[in-house]
């Protein structure tokens, strides 16, 4: 089955840029989606189809996807961005199914 690998944690100072990676075999050929989850809350979609943003999501959130790595980039990080972030794809290679990465805890120093 398809596996998505994320770093367990990323730390960044306020105002700096955070980059959260999501690794997978030839992930560049898939559409990658990113979710933000704050404690006690349901996940919220922040980037879909590699680099598109839903309405209401700040432009500070952006995404890219190439080769074996997809990246969520958060510019001008704010304290309110501290959360867990998950990448997700649809794996149609074998048994069609949804795959989530293990999640990355973003800490704002």
Partner 1 sequence: QLQLQESGPGLVKPSETLSLTCTVSGGSISSSSYYWGWIRQPPGKGLEWIGSIYYSGSTYYNPSLKSRVTISVDTSKNQFSLKLSSVTAADTAVYYCARHGRAVAVFDLWGRGTLVTVSS
Residues that bind partner 1 (CB under 8 A): 1, 31, 33, 35, 37, 42-45, 48-49, 54, 84, 86, 88, 90, 95-103
- Pick the closer one to partner 1 by CB: 77 or 101: 101
Shortest distance (Å) from residue 89 CB to partner 1: 8
- Pick the closer one to partner 1 by CB: 23 or 99: 99
Please say whether the beta carbons of 89 and 29 come within 8 A: no
Measuring CA to CA, how many Å separate 17 from each of 10, 23, 45? 11, 19, 19
Determine the Cα–Cα distance for residues 21 and 6; give it in Å rounded to an integer: 6
Residue 34 class from Cβ within 10 Å (0-12 exposed, 13-18 middle, 19+ buried)?
Answer: buried
Shortest distance (Å) from residue 69 CB to partner 1: 19
- Pick the closer one to partner 1 by CB: 62 or 88: 88
Please say whether the beta carbons of 99 and 88 come within 8 A: yes
Determine the Cα–Cα distance for residues 69 and 84; give it in Å rounded to an integer: 19
- Pick the closer one to partner 1 by CB: 46 or 74: 46
Shortest distance (Å) from residue 84 CB to partner 1: 8
Shortest distance (Å) from residue 92 CB to partner 1: 9
């Amino acid at each position: 089955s398809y596996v998505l690998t994320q770093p367990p944690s990323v730390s960044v100072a306020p105002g700096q840029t955070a980059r959260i990676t999501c690794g997978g075999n030839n992930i560049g050929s898939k559409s990658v989606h990113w979710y933000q989850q704050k404690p006690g809350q349901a996940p919220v979609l922040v980037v879909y189809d590699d680099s598109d943003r839903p309405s209401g999501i700040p432009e500070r959130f952006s995404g890219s996807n190439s080769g074996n790595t997809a990246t969520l980039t958060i510019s001008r990080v704010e304290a309110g961005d501290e959360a867990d972030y998950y990448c997700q794809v649809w794996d149609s290679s074998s048994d069609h199914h949804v795959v989530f990465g293990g999640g990355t805890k973003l800490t704002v120093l």
